[in-house]
Amino acid sequence: MVKILSESEVEALVSVEELFDKVAEAFKTLSLGELLMPPRERIRVEGFGDILLMPCLAQSLGVFSLKVVSVYPRNIELGLPTTNAAVLVVNPENGVPELVAEAKALTGLRTAAATALSVRYLARRDASRLGIIGCGYQAGWQLKITSRVMKTEQILVHDLYRERAERLADEFRARTGIDVRVCLNAQELVEACDVIITATTSKTPVVWKDWVRPGTHISAIGAYTPEMAEIDPRVLASAKLVVDSLKAAREEAGDIIQAVNAGLIRWDNVYGEIGEIIAGRKPGRLREDEVTVFKTVGTAAQDAAVASILLSKTRSR
């Protein structure tokens, strides 16, 4: 019988420690070629948004997962979530579907884990100021998980919709006691922060090179199509650039694709995949003054990582 999990059940079943371990394993096996992850299928619904199909066979994790996720930026105007998702989990040993779960929380958890892992391997150890540009659904997860892996003394937030930024700041401040402040513009945030997360659907950069201080780490999670870009290509040209999947980045990472097309960088300027660093095949940050950028378009391997946790917990019930 197929088990069905709600968003609240997904949240309750996944611990942060397991999340880090499983997502790190997924990235490592992805970089080592030990799982099967077909390209993400993007179906454009003209005038509305995107529907994405994301399959992954991760035998080391004991799962096949298929996530269907929609990203509809105009939903903000309708009072609806920008992102919605569900995941189907199949036992790869017998082909039997075992689990269907609402996957907004799953997506938030695995995307935040990717940022947190990038901070662990690429940010300065004394990083204490965390900033996020884009205060939609992903933002809460990003702050919750990433603040666990750095000495977070202050958080700065910014969004084109100021009320969203204020709501996020109020909620996170009340829940954690951390000093959270709303910035009136992105420049103010970037110039002040050690770690910057961009979580927007922007088609023009929201982080510019002149604002970025030496030693900054940036996790760019928002742009997932060739038309989107959050980071000034001049930042990419001068930074240590790490991706989740080079194959996926070539297809979808608009920040990098546009920089390559403009002749500012080449694909061989990409330092490597985060899984190579986790596996010890390449070092992470080498100097205190390095600017590091982690560009993630989101991978089905990350979904499989969280799916494996859910499957393990529901089987033991």
pLDDT tier for residue 317 given thresholds of 50, 70 and 90: low
pLDDT given at position 82: 83
Residue 89 has pLDDT above 80, yes or no: yes
pLDDT given at position 237: 96
pLDDT given at position 81: 84
Of the candidates 137, 140, 145, 143, which has an alpha carbon nearest to the alpha carbon of residue 117? 145
Return the domain boundaries, the chain: 3-106+301-315, 111-299
The more confident residue out of 211 and 74 is: 211
Domain 3-106+301-315, CATH class in plain words: alpha beta
Percent of the chain with pLDDT over 90: 91
Q: Would you call 67 a catalytic residue per the annotation?
A: yes
Q: What is the pLDDT of residues 191-234, one digit of tens each?
A: 999 999 999 989 999 999 999 999 999 999 998 889 999 999 99
* Mode of pairing for the β-strands spanning 154-158 and 217-220: unpaired
Cα(218)–Cα(194) distance, integer angstroms: 8
Residue 104 has pLDDT above 70, yes or no: yes
pLDDT tier for residue 137 given thresholds of 50, 70 and 90: confident
pLDDT given at position 224: 84
* Fold observed for domain 111-299: Rossmann fold (3.40.50)
Q: 3-class DSSP state for residue 130?
A: strand
Contacts of 17 (CB under 8 A, 6+ apart): none
Residue 47 amino acid letter: G
Q: Are 82 and 107 in contact (CB under 8 A)?
A: no
pLDDT given at position 111: 96
Mean pLDDT, range 272-278, rounded to an integer: 98
pTM of the model: 0.92
Q: What is the pLDDT of residues 11-56, one digit of tens each?
A: 999 999 999 999 999 999 999 999 999 988 989 999 999 999 999 9
Mean pLDDT, range 66-72, rounded to an integer: 93
Other Cβ atoms less than 10 A from the Cβ of 247: the count is 14
Cα(46)–Cα(154) distance, integer angstroms: 40
Catalytic member of 3, 22, 28, 67: 67
Q: Are 119 and 149 in contact (CB under 8 A)?
A: yes
